[in-house]
Each structure stands twice: as structure tokens, then as C-alpha cells.
């Protein structure tokens, strides 16, 4: 249950647009924000920590939580893996008196905005172009050619949703995007 003082900052973008970098920056400089840890069924990567990067759960556990109505939003993405936002995450963060920040996919971000229209700010991080996004994803060196093609196609589709968000930041240059995001979020939170 939210109250007007409980705010949500929803940061969404296609994969590779820079949303995680921007969210990490905001978390470092705005102490009133706390990261909402998503649940996922995908494999944990070697540099990730359970309860910090994600809550890693089995598909059976994920489906049980869906049946128990424990998610605010969830979806199946990229090869049968599930991702979702647990209601308990908002309760945990709001109980501390903090505001919630999400690093979330586009569809999940829109679902959260629908649930909390009065006390949320939705920010879409737009890559300067599909070509620039493809170069960023290629530069990571983590994608197979097939996965890269799938992510680029999905990103091109997701970019069409930017108009449904409160604010769009074109992330062509982090030195400009980071202070822009900070100013927008501080104004929304009143800090």
C-alpha cells in the first residue's frame, strides 16, 4: 500500500541504452533512493549476488509466486526466463522511508506506471540510434550473433514506446545524460 510520500522512479530502456549505468549513478548520489531487486529464473552470472542484483529463484518458485499474487508485474523474456517485481520489495523499501528506483524493461515499466500513476516518474532512456545501440551491445562481447540480432530487433520495437513515459532522455553522451537524469529525479523527489 503506497502513500503520497512513497515515490517510484521507473527507469526503462532497451537493452544496451545505458539505463543500468544511469540508475547506479542516481543510487550513488541520491541517498533517498533504494534499488528494487527483481526476481528472475535466469542463471546467476559469476559477478552477480543473490538479493543484490536479483533474487534468483526456480521456475517452479516463480510460478508459485504468480499463483499467490506476489508480483506487481512479471513477464517471460529471452529464451524462457522469467523476470518480475515482488510486492514485498516495495514494502521493504518504503518501510525504511526510502523511495524506490527501478532498472526495468519497457513493458514492466509501463505496468508499474499504470499501478502507481500518481506517485511515480517514468523515465525512458533512449539510445541515439538503433545502430549505436547495436555497437554498444556488440562491445559488451556477451552476446551470440543470434542473441544480438534478437536484442536489436526488440530494442527497435521498444523505442516506439518512449512516448508513453513521462520523460525521455536521449543517452548519446553520459556526461550529459547523468546530470540530466539527476536533475529530473531530484525535482520529482523534492530533494
Q: What is the pLDDT of residues 93-135, one digit of tens each?
A: 999 999 999 999 899 999 999 999 999 999 999 998 888 878 8
pLDDT tier, 4 (very low <50, low <70, confident <90, very high otherwise)? low
Q: Please state, for a pLDDT cut of 70, what percent of the chain lies above it.
A: 97
Q: Please tell me whether the overall predicted TM-score, pTM, comes out greater than 0.85 for this model.
A: yes
Question: Could you write out the DSSP letters of every residue in the chain?
Answer: ---TT--EEEEE--TTSSHHHHHHHHHHH-TTEEEPPEEE-SPPPTT--BTTTEEE--HHHHHHHHHTT-EEEEEEETTTEEEEEEHHHHHHHHHTTPEEEEEE-HHHHHHHHHH-SSSEEEEEEE-S-HHHHHHHHHHHT---HHHHHHHHHHHHHHGGGGGGSSEEEE-S-HHHHHHHHHHHHHHHHT-
The arithmetic mean of pLDDT across residues 3-19, rounded, is 87
Please report the pLDDT score of residue 145 as a whole number: 82
pLDDT tier, 3 (very low <50, low <70, confident <90, very high otherwise)? low
Please report the pLDDT score of residue 146 as a whole number: 80
Please indicate whether residue 168 or residue 144 has the higher confidence score (pLDDT): 168
Asked if pLDDT for residue 1 goes beyond 70, the answer is no
Please report the pLDDT score of residue 167 as a whole number: 97
Please indicate whether residue 51 or residue 144 has the higher confidence score (pLDDT): 51
Please indicate whether residue 175 or residue 4 has the higher confidence score (pLDDT): 175
Domains of the chain are 8-189 (3.40.50.300)
Asked if pLDDT for residue 2 goes beyond 60, the answer is no
Amino acid at each position: 500500500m503506497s502513500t503520497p510520500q512513497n515515490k517510484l522512479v521507473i527507469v526503462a530502456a532497451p537493452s544496451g541504452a545505458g539505463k543500468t549505468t544511469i540508475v547506479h549513478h542516481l543510487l550513488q548520489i541520491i541517498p533517498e533512493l533504494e534499488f528494487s531487486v527483481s526476481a528472475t529464473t535466469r542463471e546467476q552470472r559469476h559477478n552477480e549476488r543473490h538479493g543484490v542484483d536479483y533474487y534468483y529463484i526456480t521456475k517452479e518458485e516463480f510460478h508459485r509466486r504468480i499463483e499467490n499474487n506476489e508480483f506487481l508485474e512479471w513477464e517471460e523474456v529471452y529464451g524462457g526466463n522469467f523476470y518480475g517485481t515482488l510486492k514485498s520489495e516495495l514494502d521493504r523499501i518504503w518501510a525504511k522511508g526510502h523511495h524506490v528506483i527501478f532498472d526495468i524493461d519497457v513493458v514492466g515499466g509501463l505496468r508499474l506506471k499504470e499501478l502507481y500513476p500518481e506517485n511515480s516518474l517514468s523515465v525512458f532512456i533512449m539510445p541515439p540510434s538503433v545502430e549505436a545501440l547495436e555497437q554498444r551491445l556488440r562491445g559488451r562481447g556477451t552476446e551470440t550473433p543470434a542473441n544480438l540480432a534478437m536484442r536489436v530487433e526488440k530494442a527497435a520495437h521498444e523505442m516506439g514506446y518512449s512516448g508513453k513515459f513521462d520523460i525521455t532522455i536521449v543517452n548519446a553522451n553520459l556526461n550529459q545524460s547523468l546530470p540530466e537524469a539527476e536533475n529530473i529525479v531530484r525535482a520529482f523527489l523534492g530533494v
